[in-house]
Amino acid sequence: MESFDDSKASEELRAALEAARAAAVISRNYYSGDFTVTTKEDLTPVTQADVECEQCIREIILERFPDHGFYGEETGRTREDAESLWLVDPIDGTKGFVRQYPFFSTQIALMRNGRIVLGVSSGTMMDELAWAEEGQGAWLNGERISVSHIRDIDRVAVSTGNLKSLARSDGWSQLGDIVAHADRIRGYGDFYHYHLLASGKIEAVIESDVNILDIAALSIIVTEAGGVFTDLNGAAVDLDTRSVLAANPALHEDYLLRLRGWVT
């Protein structure tokens, strides 16, 4: 198994990894439940851990790259004219974090001129740190990872998440066809099923009701692992992405045809 060569990491990747590790210390300290929870205008929870993690990440990144833009889940967006924009969700899965589910993560990505070029996904309580940089492959805990080559729809493992809007669309029946054929259906959710996909342990992830901060870093990790990552209509990831179809190349094409009934 190939190990990561630190000398190939850009200064941006080094900063993102440092920021993710620093945020992990904060979130791990709060995981026991000793924190306050407030509700944002969109009725989602936010904790002290979310705020402190984002402040930590922001300081580390902008100290090194003051000309870059920053778009954080808790602090919003700065420098909208910047070519380089950091996309950060300090605790993706706050609802689970509040209830002490271990599936929360820290997501840090860099978008340059509208394209995701770098991503770091830190599954703190699962001890999984994944990252990818354009053209440099995908890595999990320092070892190269890649998607599987299974393409037979009767042999694949599929994970789903956040299916509320898909359930209200014509795509629901098409998803039922996928479920009926798959060898295994799970709902690992949040960051974890993307790590499994990029590592070749499952074959596809289907989600709706996401936002770019949830999936930006994961999108490049999956693609650098050899997978295909689009929305459920087959469109490339951008700031407005709200759904995901991620899979190995052969399966992605098949599933995209099967999910034609999806409507955003």
CA dihedral of 125, 139, 217, 54, whole degrees rounded to 10: 40
Characterize 27-40 residue by residue with b for buried, 16 or more Cβ atoms within 10 angstroms of its Cβ, and e for exposed.
beebbeeebeeeee
Q: What is the mean pLDDT of residues 11-24?
A: 97
Mean pLDDT of the chain: 91
For residue 18, the model assigns a pLDDT of 97
Q: Is 182 left (phi over 0), alpha (psi -120 to 50) or beta?
A: beta
For residue 225, name the pLDDT band (cuts at 50, 70, 90). very high
For residue 210, the model assigns a pLDDT of 94
Instruction: Answer for the pair 229, 237: CB distance below 8 angstroms, yes or no.
Output: yes
For residue 47, name the pLDDT band (cuts at 50, 70, 90). confident
Per-residue pLDDT for 200 more than 60?
yes
Tell me, what amino acid is at 12?
Answer: E
Instruction: Answer for the pair 246, 156: CB distance below 8 angstroms, yes or no.
Output: no
Per-residue pLDDT for 230 more than 80?
yes
Q: What is the mean pLDDT of residues 181-202?
A: 94
Q: Is 191 left (phi over 0), alpha (psi -120 to 50) or beta?
A: alpha
Q: Name, in order, each residue with C-beta under 8 angstroms of 129's C-beta and a sequence gap of 6 or more.
A: 17, 20, 21, 120, 121, 122, 123, 140, 141
Percentage of the chain lying above the pLDDT 90 cut: 66
For residue 263, the model assigns a pLDDT of 53
DSSP 192-230: HHHHHHHTTSSSEEEEES--HHHHHHHHHHHHHTT-EEE
Instruction: Answer for the pair 184, 153: CB distance below 8 angstroms, yes or no.
Output: no
pTM of the model: 0.93
Collapsed DSSP state (helix, strand, coil) of residue 34: coil
For residue 40, the model assigns a pLDDT of 66
Lowest mean pLDDT among 5-14, 38-47, 58-67, 88-97: 38-47
**pLDDT by residue (tens digit) across 60-96?**
999 999 999 999 988 888 877 899 999 999 999 878 7
For residue 262, the model assigns a pLDDT of 58
Distances (CA, A) of 148 to 123, 249, 251: 21, 9, 10
Domains and CATH numbers, the chain: 6-145 (3.30.540.10), 157-258 (3.40.190.80)
Per-residue pLDDT for 46 more than 80?
no
Collapsed DSSP state (helix, strand, coil) of residue 86: strand
For residue 42, the model assigns a pLDDT of 65
Q: What is the mean pLDDT of residues 169-198?
A: 89
Long-range CB contacts (< 8 A, 24+ apart) of 48-51? 49/90, 49/91, 49/97, 50/74, 50/90, 50/91, 50/94, 51/90
